[in-house]
Structures are given as structure tokens and as C-alpha cells.
Amino acid sequence: MAGSWTSWGGDVHLDWDPATGREGLADAIRDAIRAGRLARGDALPSTRALAGDLGVARGTVTRVYADLAAEGYVHTSQGAPTVVVADGVQQASPPRTRPRSPEARWSLLPGHPDLSAFPRAAWLSATRRVLQHAPASAFGYVDERGVASLREALAGYLARSRGVVADPERIVVCAGYAHAISLLAIALRERGELAFEDPSLWVFRDYARAAGARITGVPVDGAGIRVSELDSPAVVVTPAHQYPLGMTLAPRRRAELARWAVEQGGYVIEDDYDGEFRYDRKPVGALQALAPERVAYAGTASKTLAPGLRLGWLVLPRTLVEPVRAAMATHGWRTPVLEQLVLADLIGSGDYDRHVRRCRAAYRARRDRLLAALPGYLTPHGISAGVQLLLTLPEDGPGEAEVLASAKRQSLALQGLGPHWISQGEHPQGLVLGYATPAEHAFSATLAALGQTLADVSR
């Protein structure tokens, strides 16, 4: 359903389906701001007026405005109108498919580990040890950078597993990568625009934009990001396993990117989202080691353990430690102390490494089963690493929309490649298949649903 706000002075078109509820209403207002239908300085209707226009509870609108204020889209003040403070984009964002279908029985959505593999026994044992031995002072207010014992554990783990030049004093514990990119966008905001690989995951571009960054894209080819086309003071890259295309940044490009950062005084944000999972050889080392004072390394436990833990970390150049710490103190929420202490114990006991090794073997077996189930006319990419692969669709065959519609009929949640592009125009079409997502007992049935989906559209 599309509507307009009758209580507002202008005629603002609002694409909102009441069935999507509060989340959908927030998305509709965000889209109106991004598309320029609502400009910086425009006053939104009062919560009472908008609730009356749309036929929803006033509390729903109040919560939507609060969410948008927290994301940096609007400013709210008691007794004053809610005002837009974010700028729209020059071009409308590409259409975005909803990443989750509530009624889907099966899922190959990327970005998730097998949650049924969470190491409950090891986590419980670590929690007991922490509660038995941690002093009472450990549960008080801590340094904005995070619990010292976790920063020390991470420094050792990242140095031996990813080759990161890690010092506990340069590590900041954050609440997942979304939080990390928001903090970095705030810290780098005064330097100008922030570049992302094109394509890249739109969610994190949105977080950076909401934090005040101006976003631009840099093309990617078979060797990774085209460094020669980089013309921004900072760039976000996924060098170990480019998301979503799947290639590893070529050695010459790694050296070129590090050299660019040093010579131009730029910053590189290295999103090492699934660097632990490499299947054809030893995991490629982190880019950060080539230029520790110009590369901010970001990692999380979201793929190795569970995204719901909201555990992430940044290894920062010395010049960014205080700006990020200040952003954390004034703008950020933090991971609870207990979870930080438990992860530190899990790493120190060796249970974390053992869990990662088990998952690496399990995900490799899943990848092999998925590849064996794919029809020969489809081409998989990025199969040597990670927890997802890209399946490109032939130009003369069904497009993403047809495949996604077929998947919906099979009660299968899939993600298309389309929403990831920054640049406008024609792009290759494909599917990003997260083969780590299903529980182990559901993996065979999920593959069967995918097979039926592809068979239906191939007819």
C-alpha cells in the first residue's frame, strides 16, 4: 500500500505496507529520506498526526522515530518537531530484496553460521570458570576499548591465526561488525567520503551512511578491488574472500593497496568476516600486516560462534585508537562484560580453536555437497573459502526475480546479487548461497528445495 502524509505541508509519497509493521514503516521513511523526498531540515508530522494518518498506534510511530534518531536520520527533541538531519542520495538506491522471508521453511541466506553447532558445552564451562574465578571488580565499568583479558587473548589469537600485528592497546572490542563500521565512519567522518567495493553488502553501507559518511563505490574485477580507481581517503575491503563475488585479493593488488594507503595517507578498513574458513590451503594472512599503521582490521565471532553474541573487534592504527574510543564513549553501545570474559576464557583454553577447526571441516563438506547438487549450466564462484558462494545465472536464462519467486514457492529463502551493487545500470545476475546457514539435520532438505527451485525455472 502506498500513502501520503496528509498532516505534512508537502505531498510525501510513502511506500508502506501495513503488514510489514513497525520495521516496514521505518524502512519507508528511510527510503523517503534517501530518495530526497524528505530533505535535511524538513519537519516530520507529530507522532499523533502520523499515527492518525496511517491508522496505527501512536506508540508505533514513537518507536520508529526513536529508531531513526538512533541511526542518524532524524533528530528528536521533547516539545519540538522531529527534523530530518540526513542527506538524501543523488540516485535512488537499487531495489533491495528483503533478506528474510518469515514463512520460509528452508534458508540459504548468507551471513549465518550453523547455529545448531554453537559450542554450548564449552561456552557453559567457560562461563562457570569466569563466574567462579573472576573478581567482583571485573563486572564494573570497563575501558571503552573492552575487557583487558579479552584484548590480550585476541592479540595472541589474531597474531597466530591471521598474521595480524596485534597489540592489546590497539584493540577495541565492539558489538559486531555493524557497530565497528559505525564507529569507524564516525572517526573518519571529517576526512571525507568512504569507499566500498562495488559490489558489497548494502547493510554496512547503510550503517556507515547513517553515521555520517558519504559513500562511493570502487569497481572489483577478478583480482579484487581496482586500486588504481580508488580516489577516497578511506576504503572498506574484504580481501580474504570478497563479498559477495568470492575472489581473494591478488598479491599484487594487496601490495598496491598497502602502498596506496602509506603513500596517500589513506586508511583501509579490512573486513575479515570469514577469514578462518579456507578450504584449498592455509588461510591467507591479513592485509593489515602489510601496513599496520594504515589498515584497521575488523573481525567478529558472528561466523565462528553466533551473530547474536554481538562480539567483534578492531585492531587499529595508533592514530585511530583515540578517535574510535571517543566515538565508543559518546555514541556506542558495548558488548556485555560477561560475554567478553567468557570469550577470553574460550580462546585461552583452546576451545575456540577446536570449535573453528570442527566448523571448517563441516562447512567444507557442506560446500562439496552443494557443488555436487548444482546443475552443470550454473557457474559457482568463491568456493575456496568462506561460508557462502556466488552462483551466477546465465544471460539467456531466468533472472534473479524468477529464481527468487520460484524459491518462495518452495519455501526457500535465497538472496540475490542485485541489491549489492552500488553503481547503476546492468550487472551480472546471481544468487549468494549461504551453505552454513541450515542446521545439520535440515541441510539435505534445503538442498532438495534448492534443486526443485532451479529445476522449475530451467523448464
Domain spanning 106-118+359-458: CATH 3.30.460.10: no
Q: How many Cβ atoms are within 10 Å of 191's Cβ, its own excluded?
A: 14
Q: Which fold has domain 2-84?
A: Arc Repressor Mutant, subunit A (1.10.10)
Q: Which residue has the cell 546471481?
A: 430
Vertex 230, ends 325 and 237: CA angle to 5°? 50
- pTM of the predicted structure, to 2 decimals: 0.78
pLDDT along the chain (459 residues), means of 10: 47 70 86 84 86 83 85 82 75 45 84 96 98 94 93 97 95 96 95 96 95 95 97 97 96 97 97 93 89 98 96 98 92 88 98 97 97 93 95 90 95 96 93 96 97 90
Strand, coil or helix: 155: helix
Q: How far is Cα 51 from Cα 150, in angstroms, rounded to an integer?
A: 46
Q: Given this structure, which CATH class describes domain 120-352?
A: alpha beta
Q: What residue segments make up the domains of the chain, in order of their start?
A: 2-84, 106-118+359-458, 120-352
Residues 6+ apart with CB under 8 A from 103: 411
* H or E element at residue 36: none
At 407 the pLDDT is 96
Q: How far is Cα 219 from Cα 301, in angstroms, rounded to an integer?
A: 28
The pair phi, psi for residue 4, each rounded to 5°, is -125, 155
Which parts of 149-257 are beta strand (E)? 171-174, 194-198, 215-221, 224-225, 234-237
Q: CB of 385 within 8 A of CB of 274? A: yes
At 85 the pLDDT is 85
